[in-house]
Amino acid sequence: MPTAHLSLGSNLDPERHLRVAIDALRARFDAVRVSTVYRFPAVGYDGADFLNAAASIQTDLSPQALNAWLHALEDAHGRDRSGPRYSDRTLDIDIVLYDDLVAEGNGHPGPGPGPVLRIPREELRHAFVLKPLAEIAPGAMHPIERQTIAALWRAHPDHDRPFATVPLVPSVQTVP
């Protein structure tokens, strides 16, 4: 089964939104590994700090079907795509790596226009993606750079910078 590595982020009620996203991933996929949650400054605009994490999943979904599932999860939790690309977000989940796939194209399984799916994601150059991903998938290989995530993180200018961590309180499961 393919392995997908995901980047998760939120800066609007971020603890709640990340917890819900992680719970949804664990409910849908059998093997889910999640990094520590880190606080990073917003990138590309002046906004509230983001909480970011990475998750690795084993998936039975194609990249397009996984992307559609993740977009539906974001939408279900108030993701607004009508504003500028760099803006506040309730939930942002991207497929940053999917095995050794290099792809760009239609990001949903049906015909017609839709979101563009780029794998690997350009955001792999940012600390908010590399640091959490290096924690849970250091040996994952960037299919274009031909370097491991650990090597890319070690070479990053922010490698030695401390980033605050944020514990997520587990969801309260109620039994009917």
Residue 176 lies in a domain: no
pTM of the model: 0.89
Residue 16 lies in a domain: yes
Q: What is the CATH number of the domain that holds 99?
A: 3.30.70.560
Q: What is the pLDDT of residues 81-140, one digit of tens each?
A: 666 677 678 899 999 999 999 988 755 455 444 557 899 998 999 999 999 999 999 999
Residue 165 lies in a domain: no
The residue range of the domain holding 36 is 3-155
The residue assigned the tokens 């979904």 is 61
Q: What is the pLDDT of residues 22-71, one digit of tens each?
A: 999 999 998 899 999 999 999 888 889 999 999 999 999 999 999 999 99
Residue 134 lies in a domain: yes
Q: Evaluate the omega torsion of the peptide bond into residue 120 and state whether it is cis, within 30 degrees of 0.
A: yes
Residue 105 lies in a domain: yes
Residue 13 lies in a domain: yes
